[in-house]
Amino acid sequence: MKLCNNYSLLPHNTFGMDVRATLFVEYDTVSELHDFLLSETFGKHRSHFIHIGGGSNLLFAGDYHGLVMHSAICDLTVVEDTPNSLLLRVGAGYVWDELVAYCVEHGLAGVENLSAIPGEVGASAVQNIGAYGVEVCDVVEGVETMDLQGNLRIFNREECRYGYRDSIFKKELRGQYIVTHVMYRLQKSPVFKLDYGDLRARVEAEGVPTLKAVRRAVTAIRDSKLPDPKVLGNAGSFFTNPVIPRTQYESLKEQYPDMPSYTVDDTRVKVPAGWLIEQVGWKGRVLGHAAVHDRQALVLVNRGGAVGAEVMELANRICDDIYNKYGIRIVPEVNYIV
Binding site for ligand EPU (CB under 6 A): 131-132, 196-197, 226, 236-237, 240-241, 260, 272, 274-275, 278, 283, 296-298, 333
Pairing of strands 58-60, 76-81: unpaired
For residue 320, what are the CA distances in angstroms to 202, 248, 315, 316?
37, 18, 9, 6
- Closest approach, Cβ 75 to ligand EPU, in A, equals 26
Q: Which of 141, 204, 278, 333 is catalytic?
A: 333
86 or 334: CB nearest ligand EPU: 334
3-class SS of residue 54: coil
For residue 45, what are the CA distances in angstroms to 59, 110, 194?
21, 39, 47
SS3 content of the chain, % helix, strand, coil (to 5): 30, 30, 40
- Closest approach, Cβ 279 to ligand EPU, in A, equals 8
Q: Classify the C-alpha dihedral 120-122-125-127 as positive or negative.
A: negative
| Residue 263: count of CB within 10 angstroms of its CB | 10
68 or 131: CB nearest ligand EPU: 131
- Closest approach, Cβ 271 to ligand EPU, in A, equals 9
Q: Which residue is nearest to ligand EPU (CB)?
A: 236
331 or 338: CB nearest ligand EPU: 331
10 or 116: CB nearest ligand EPU: 116
Q: Which of 26, 237, 261, 310 is catalytic?
A: 237
**Known catalytic membership, residue 333:** yes
For residue 95, what are the CA distances in angstroms to 53, 154, 235?
9, 21, 16
- Closest approach, Cβ 296 to ligand EPU, in A, equals 5
250 or 262: CB nearest ligand EPU: 262
Q: Which of 165, 216, 246, 285 is catalytic?
A: 165
For residue 299, what are the CA distances in angstroms to 12, 98, 153, 308?
19, 23, 35, 15
The residues annotated as belonging to the active site are 165, 237, 333
